Amino acid sequence: MATSLYDLGVASYLQTVGAVSGFLERGAKHCQETGADPDELVDVRLFDDMLPFHFQIRSVAHHSVGALEGVKSGLFLPPAAVGPLPYADLQAMMAQTETALKALTPDEVNGWAGKDVAFQIGDRKIPFTAENFILSFSLPNFHFHATTAYDILRMKGVPLGKRNYLGHMRMKAA
């Protein structure tokens, strides 16, 4: 059986969005156990020239459900620059992202296969097909930001391991 656009995009996004929600929950629990304020995490950066935690979480949403909206419309733009959100709002954002992804049907998403999509940054438009946009642009960005968010929480002492990042894998049914 061939892999569909839905499998490449939605199913892959859902796996990692679930993992991000899980490690956000572990971060909140760690803060509760240590008496730390989770809102102090939202502006943490790995390096001064990298964007903060809240941007990493927003980008997970933007490069998943936002990317699929871009495929549907034919145009994907960089995320809007906005200030930090409270940690609980970032958790809610991941829950909303998961809900929006689950609302997409395989028939709807697979119907976008072969569609032209452009990534527009300033006056420049970079052309893709739906498949190449998902595989070569959206998924790499999505995983970069999910990994960076994970790394920030690890750096701040949240007990996370690789299994927390992998999420619920799609294993062969018995």
Identify the CATH number of the domain in which residue 72 sits: 1.20.120.450
10 in a domain, yes or no?
yes
The pair of three-digit structure tokens given for residue 163, joined into one six-digit string = 């299994």
145 in a domain, yes or no?
yes
pLDDT in tens, 12-60: 999 999 999 999 999 999 999 999 999 999 999 999 999 999 999 999 9
Q: How many CB atoms lie within 10 A of CB 14?
A: 19
> What is this structure's pTM?
0.93
Helices and strands of the chain, counted as H and E runs: 9, 3
106 in a domain, yes or no?
no
Number of domains the chain is built from: 1
96 in a domain, yes or no?
yes
Q: Which domain holds residue 65?
A: 5-101+117-166
Please name the residues in contact with 115: beta carbons below 8 A apart, sequence gap of 6 or more: 71, 74, 129, 130
- Please give the single-letter amino acid code of residue 118: A
pLDDT in tens, 50-109: 999 999 999 999 999 999 999 999 999 998 877 889 999 999 999 999 999 999 999 999
Cα–Cα nearest to 99, from 7, 163, 5, 21: 21
| pLDDT score for 1 | 52
> 3-class SS at 101?
helix
